A and B are shown apart, each in its own frame.
Chain A
Amino acid sequence: MKNLLRIATLFLVALASTLSIAAAQSAAQAAAARPGPWPKEVVEIAQHLPVQDGGRVKPLNTYAGYLLLRLNGKRSVTTPEGEKLEAMPWLLDVLFYPELAETYDAFMVQDGQAIEAIGVSVEGKKKRDRYSFRELRPGIQRLFQLANEYQAIEEKDRNTVQQQVFMLAMNVNDFMRILTHLDLARARLPVGAGDGLAQMFSGAEEVTFSQVLDHVPELRDLQLKLSREPATAAESKTIGTLLHTAADLTSGTESLALLPATGSLEAEPAWHTPADLLTVALRDSVVEPKHVEMLASLEGMARARADFAGFQREITRFQGLVVPLAEKRGEYEKVGLEVTYHELGLLGNAQVVFVLAFVLAAGLWLKPKSKLLYGLTTLAVIVPTILVTIAIVLRCMIRERPPVSTLYETLLFVTATGAITALVAELVTKQKVALSAAAVLGMIGLFVANGYEMLDKRDTMPQLVAVLDTNFWLATHVTAITIGYSAGMLAALLASLYLITKVVGFKRSEPAFHHGLGRMVYGVLCFGLIFSTVGTILGGIWANESWGRFWGWDPKENGALLICLSQLVILHCRMGGILREHGVCMATAFGGTVIAFSWFGVNLLGVGLHSYGFTSGIHTALWSYYWIQWGIVGLGGLHWYLERVRSNARREAMSNSGSRLSPAQEPMS
């Protein structure tokens, strides 16, 4: 990331020259408007095109989605004409109609002061608003200057404006690279005078980039030959200019690797960009005809952009070139599934249904005897739980990994297993409490998961570092510990419900309700302890296999130990009568903060071997959760104290009158 901005500064210089070539040569196209919305067929083909990004091959659709999310804070953009574009049509515009894409408000800026800092007017804009590249263009040089300065400041020490400027610079840099990626496909390169050149290009005055690439070895040979004779030195110089122009056009194309390598996956794992191809051609005099054909196809698309039928022919031709190659290398089989995964929007839909389930559950408590409402709530919990489970299964199939290998995936897994555990508890108890807890847990879990993705704005299916490349330990240790998190969070939620309902006097006349809830807290806690303990020890065994030590007091290990210890303390206190039902629920509600600390809190410390995952932005949410739980525990404690005072007063009054308390009136410590 650090080098990106330095590169960006250099890139600006290259961009200026590239833009001047492209602008001059595509002047005729500059004012062209897109004839209409991109045809569905074209969009579908484009979505399924493979691209190598983030160390893996993924659909272009995924690439477009995360790029737009990073820039715009959402996966769609609205054109000045009011047309709403999803990520893929937007990327098609960026690649093939850059002059239009420049005008879209695709840059979300959280604080207008960042825009003022780069000398761009914010007139008519809100403090938090979107800007187009065209609006930002006058301030770009200043933007990169400032970003280079702010890069020297630690991220945690940057103020809001500095951070916003830095982030905007990163986004503008990414956007410019894609915006100019196909300048080489639009450009016509002047051949210049010379017999050799005329013979090579059949007398053409202008050639395409792919034609130049195709002839690089011959051009180099000819250049060398001509440079030896003073009489032909001018033509040699012309060849040099032609090659330089071609090289300038490839500047900045490194960020989009659309061209599969022709060798085997083992021999050539990296895909290519036009810049790579030209470098290899100039260095090793090697040009693969298939790559030339692919570039020619991209040029065909650029030429046919105003004619959708022609464009579809060209993109189909491009698809026909890259897909079989990717298939042959075994890199295409999951692309379709990944497109489907994103298109289905399972998690977004599940979130909506969980919210509905929450509303129904609230209604159920108002009309507790309504069987219809109970059935609807159950259905509204089961459906999104199935959706999340399907999403997890699809992710496992796409990644060929167990369900959990990133922090984001822990959120999905905790949500699904928590909801399933609660549904099982509901099946056993039929008290409506576990059902309601499932709705709350599902709603909050997916809200956090989707919020996490929106804040992080990066691919949620990243490659894993070497030490994590082990499906055995991911399937055992990580899965077990995540089930432990899930059960612990559910127990904390149920315990919080216990305390809140007691504090507000809900079901005061039905002690069986709270006893049942208390038993459920105990049951889920026991379930969680098994997985937390076994998961923690398995983590130690994995560490022993990887690093040669079972236990290193690393913050994440300590967090897992804290969960086990806190649960053991609660269960031993319950067994010894030190804590009773109310006390167990207070301790379990507090235990929720222990789990949150272990799950996310230790990652915020920034030390240890497990400081993984995106955590900035989580700080506020985490502390909010801590305070909510502590508040609930505090209220529970206050309630217990007041009950005890009342009970003592009653006891005193009754002993004065010679009566004894019945067992049901014992204190609730």
Chain B
Amino acid sequence: MNTIVDGTLKFFSSLWLSVALLIFLALLTWLGTLEQVHTGLYEVQRKYFDSMFLVHQAGSVPIPLPGARLVMGILFINLFVGGIVRLRRGWATAGVLITHVGIVFLLVAGMVKSFYAQEGHVTLYEGEKANTYESYVRWEVAVSEDLGQGKLRELTAPEEAFHHATSATPITFAPPSLPFEIQLGRYQKNCRALPKGPMFDAPTPVIDGVFLQPQSPSTQAEQNIAGLYATLVEKQGGAKHEGILWGNEAQPWTVETGGKRYALALRRERYPMPFTLGLQDFVKEDHPRIDMPKAFSSDVVVTEDDSTRPMKISMNEPLRSKGLVVYQASWGPADAPPGTPLFSTLAVVSNPADQFPLYACIVIAIGLTLHFSRKLLRHIRSEARAS
């Protein structure tokens, strides 16, 4: 038993393993960088860096590789066991130990972010307010029930619940609070809703003269517009209502049943903010006489717990509040003529490990400087002795 434990420990703490993992990570980084030219950052990130395994196509030759998540997971163990726990203690290894602790801390930050962070944006014109932000790339199906007097009750299904329903065979949801079950099928990651003309055949079913035309996924994942076919089957009587949900639709699909009105929409996933953000003024300044942005900033009002406070969010100066960080990310419409009202896009991130990299950086810098300074001094002393 001890032999197995020792063997396992020896394997996970070996320098050979460290070298192999670093080479794999470098290889994945290199391949992932080159592939971005063809498939875009989002897809590359999913395939190479957020995965456990992948198959890289080198021309027509498939090469199976471990994904960066697996490599970094093992590297974490290797570093922890070999680089910290089993490392010889002493002044000679103090710098290395500190550096390894910093890198472990950095990997932990990555893991925390990978599992717990949420990213999205809130886009506002001057005078508008929001208390939710939405994902750049993830979708959700939302069913709203009109309760009257301007009140709504909303149920949502995240993308994971339906993204695999790509075939004609639908997946079914039957929320107890709704008088119907929802069947979702023919999910398309990127598509266009088009009217069916008389001169061509539609590749997907036509509903009310409209069908979903599949498109190749964009290299800019946020430009993909998802779509799917939805069927509502009334629990009493089994009457069916068929409709199309498309991410770029201006109005939701509405259905009346049992004397009530329901609205269904496929939209970017929304997350609540613990405060309301109102945009008062957006300023975009160009360098004089050229079309190059000099500065952007958004004057916002943050309302939380019945108190309001004005804040300025600008490039490199985000707003941090209640676990969220709000950044000045973008603006639009692009090429708007002078005088056109502009909108401000603020990126919103919730990341519990927000400041971990800073601490890790300080620790690593101290460790490396200590280790290599010691080596340099030793070398200079030995040179002096030799001469």
| Residues in A lying within 8 Å of B, measured CB to CB | 52-56, 257, 269-271, 428-429, 463, 465-467, 469-470, 473, 519, 523, 526-527, 529-530, 533-534, 537-538, 540-542, 544-555, 558-559, 561-562, 565-566, 568-569, 572-573, 575-576, 578, 602, 605-608
CB-CB < 8 A to B29: which residues of A? Answer: 553, 558, 561-562, 565
Does A544 lie within 8 Å of B357, measured CB to CB?
A: yes
Nearest 5 pairs of A and B residues by beta carbon: A55-B287, A548-B349, A576-B15, A537-B361, A270-B288
Nearest CB on A from B263, distance (A)? 32
User: Which residues of chain A have C-beta atoms less than 8 A from B287's C-beta?
Assistant: 54-56, 463
Q: Does B163 contact A (CB under 8 A)?
A: no
Asked if residues A548 and B347 are in contact (CB atoms below 8 Å), the reply is yes
Q: List 30 A–B pairs whose Cβ atoms lie within 8 Å, in order of A's numbering.
A: A52-B288, A55-B292, A55-B294, A463-B287, A466-B296, A523-B375, A526-B372, A527-B372, A530-B368, A530-B369, A533-B364, A534-B364, A534-B365, A537-B357, A537-B361, A538-B361, A544-B357, A545-B318, A547-B329, A553-B48, A554-B41, A555-B36, A558-B33, A562-B30, A562-B33, A565-B22, A568-B22, A576-B19, A605-B33, A606-B37
Q: Which B-chain residue is minimally distant from A554 (CB atoms)? A: B41
Question: What does DSSP make chain A's interface, helix, strand, loop or mixed?
Answer: helix
Whether A545 touches B316, Cβ cut-off 8 Å, given contacts A466-B296, A550-B113, A565-B25, is yes
B327-341 to A contact mask, C-beta < 8 Å, 1/0: 101000000000000
Bound together, the chains give a CA A527 to CA B379 distance in angstroms of 14
Docked-complex contact A551 and B329, CB < 8 angstroms: no
| Partner of B379 from A257, A523, A554, A578 at Cβ < 8 Å | A523
Identity of the chain B residue whose Cβ is nearest the Cβ of A579 in the assembled complex: B19
Partner of B318, one of A473, A529, A548: A548
Closest Cβ of chain A: how far from B41's Cβ, in Å?
7
Binary interface profile of B, 283-299, with partner A (CB < 8 Å = 1, else 0)? 00011111011111000
Contacts of B296 in A (CB 8 A): 466
Question: B294: which of A53, A466, A527, A566 is its contact (CB, 8 Å)?
Answer: A466
A269 and B361 within 8 A (CB): no
**Which residues of the other chain, A, contact B375 by a CB distance below 8 angstroms?**
523, 526
Question: Which single residue of chain A is at the shortest CB-CB distance from B383?
Answer: A428
Which residues in window 25-49 of B have CB below 8 A to A?
Answer: 25-26, 29-30, 32-34, 36-37, 40-41, 44-45, 48-49
Q: Are A569 and B22 in contact (CB under 8 A)?
A: yes
**Residue contact A463 to B34, C-beta cutoff 8 Å:** no
Q: In the complex, how many residue pairs between chain A and chain B have their CB atoms under 8 Å apart?
A: 160
Chain B residue nearest to A429 (CB atoms) is B383
Contacts A537-B364, A550-B113 known; list 4 others, CB within 8 Å: A465-B292, A534-B364, A534-B365, A558-B30
CA distance A573 to B16 in the complex (A): 8
B33 touches A270 (CB 8 A): no
Chain A nearest CB from B371 CB (Å) reads 8
Judge whether B33 and A602 touch: CB under 8 Å. yes
Least Cβ distance of B296 to chain A in Å? 6
Q: CB of B344 within 8 A of chain A?
A: no
- Given the contacts A52-B289, A55-B288, A540 and B357 also touching, CB distance less than 8 Å: yes
CB distance from B112 to the nearest CB of A (A): 11
CB distance from A267 to the nearest CB of B (A): 12
Q: How far is the CB of B16 from chain A (nearest CB, A)?
A: 7
A270 to B349, CA, bound (A): 37
In the complex, B342 has a CB within 8 A of chain A: no
Are A608 and B19 interface neighbours, CB within 8 A? no
Q: Find out whether the CB atom of B379 lies under 8 angstroms from the CB atom of A519.
A: yes
**Cβ of B368 and Cβ of A533 under 8 Å apart?**
yes
- Enumerate chain B interface residues (CB-CB to A < 8 A): 15-16, 18-19, 22-23, 25-26, 29-30, 32-34, 36-37, 40-41, 44-45, 48-49, 106, 109-110, 113, 119, 286-290, 292-296, 315-318, 325, 327, 329, 347-349, 351, 354, 357-358, 360-361, 364-365, 368-369, 372, 375-376, 379-380, 383
Q: Which residues of chain A come closer than 8 Å to B44, judged between CB atoms?
A: 553
Instruction: Among A519, A537, A547, A605, point to the contact of B36 (Cβ < 8 A).
Output: A605
Q: A470-B316, A473-B316 are in contact. Are A572 and B22 (CB under 8 A)?
A: yes
Quote the shortest CB–CB distance from A329 to chain B (angstroms). 11
Known: A546-B316, A547-B347, A553-B32. A572 touches B289 (CB 8 A): no
Q: Select the residue from B32, B287, B325 with max chain A CB neighbours within 10 A.
A: B287
Chain B residues, Cβ within 8 Å of A470: 315-316
Contact B347 A463 (CB under 8 A): no
Q: How far is the CA of A473 from the CA of B317 in the complex (A)?
A: 12
Give the chain A neighbours of B23 by CB distance below 8 A.
Answer: 565, 569
- Kindly list chain B residues whose C-beta atoms are within 8 Å of the C-beta of A541: 357-358, 361
A534 to B102 CA separation, bound complex (whole angstroms): 11
Q: How far is the CA of A541 from the CA of B45 in the complex (A)?
A: 19
Chain B residues in 8 Å Cβ range of A530: 365, 368-369, 372
Specify which chain A residues have a CB less than 8 angstroms from the CB of B40 in the assembled complex.
607
Instruction: Give the distance to chain B from A602, nearest Cβ to Cβ, in Å.
Output: 7
| A559 nearest in chain B by CB position | B33
A480 to B383, CA, bound (A): 29
Give chain A residues whose Cβ lies under 8 Å from the Cβ of B325. 548
**Max count, chain B CB within 10 A of own CB: residue among A428, A546, A548:** A548
Q: How far apart sit A550 and B29, CA to CA, in the bound complex (Å)?
A: 16
Centre residue among B36, B49, B289, B376 by max chain A CB count within 10 A: B289
Q: How far is the CB of A401 from chain B (nearest CB, A)?
A: 14
Smallest Cβ-Cβ distance to A55: which chain B residue = B287
Distance between B271 CB and nearest chain A CB, rounded to angstroms: 14
**Docked complex Cα distance between A550 and B354 (Å):** 8
Which residues of chain B come closer than 8 Å to A551, judged between CB atoms? Answer: 110
Closest CB in chain B relative to A503 CB, distance in Å: 26
Which residues from chain B contact A55 at a C-beta distance below 8 Å?
A: 286-290, 292, 294
Q: Once the chains are docked, how many angstroms separate the CA of A469 from the CA of B292?
A: 12
Partner of A572 from B18, B106, B360, B361 at Cβ < 8 Å = B18
Q: Are B357 and A469 in contact (CB under 8 A)?
A: no
Given known pairs A550-B113, A602-B33, A605-B36, the reply for A54 and B290 (CB within 8 Å) is yes
Judge whether B15 and A572 touch: CB under 8 Å.
yes
B119 touches A534 (CB 8 A): no
Residues of B within 8 A of A270 (CB): 288-289
Contacts of B289 in A (CB 8 A): 52-53, 55, 257, 270-271
**List of B residues within 8 angstroms of A552 by Cβ:** 41
B49 and A553 contact, CB distance less than 8 A: yes
| A469 adjacent to B315 (CB under 8 Å) | yes
Pick from B19, B357, B379: contact of A569, CB below 8 A: B19
Contact, CB under 8 Å: A572 / B19:
yes
A3 nearest in chain B by CB position: B291
Smallest CB gap from A519: residue in B: B379
Name the distance in Å between A79's Cβ and chain B's nearest Cβ: 32
Determine how close the nearest CB of chain B comes to the CB of A474; give it in whole angstroms. 11
Residues of A within 8 A of B349 (CB): 548-549
Minimum CB–CB distance from B65 to chain A (whole Å) comes to 15
A534, A558, A568 — which one has the most chain B CB atoms within 10 A of its CB? Answer: A558
User: Known: A469-B295, A473-B316, A538-B361. Contact between A608 and B36, CB under 8 A?
Assistant: yes
Q: How far is the CA of A54 from the CA of B351 in the complex (A)?
A: 39
B26 touches A569 (CB 8 A): yes
Cα A54 to Cα B291 with chains together (Å): 9
**Chain A residue contacts of B109, Cβ below 8 A:** 550
Instruction: Determine whether the beta carbon of B316 is less than 8 Å from that of A578.
Output: no
Q: Which residue of B lies closest to A54 (CB)?
A: B290
Query: B residues within 8 A CB of A550?
Result: 109-110, 113, 357
Residues of B within 8 A of A269 (CB): 288
A527–B376 alpha-carbon span in the complex (Å): 10
Q: What residues of chain B lie closer than 8 Å to A540, measured between beta carbons?
A: 357
Q: Which residues of B contact A257 (CB under 8 A)?
A: 289
Residues in B with CB closer than 8 Å to A606 are: 37
Question: Taking CB as reference atom, which chain B residue is nearest A265?
Answer: B288
Closest chain B residue to A480, Cβ basis: B365
In the complex, what distance in Å separates the CA atom of A548 from the CA atom of B294?
Answer: 20
Considering the chains assembled together, what is the distance between the CA atoms of A608 and B349 in angstroms? 20
Q: In the complex, what distance in Å separates the CA atom of A269 from the CA atom of B23? A: 52
Contacts of A526 on B, CB cut-off 8 Å? Answer: 372, 375-376
Minimum CB–CB distance from A305 to chain B (whole Å) comes to 28
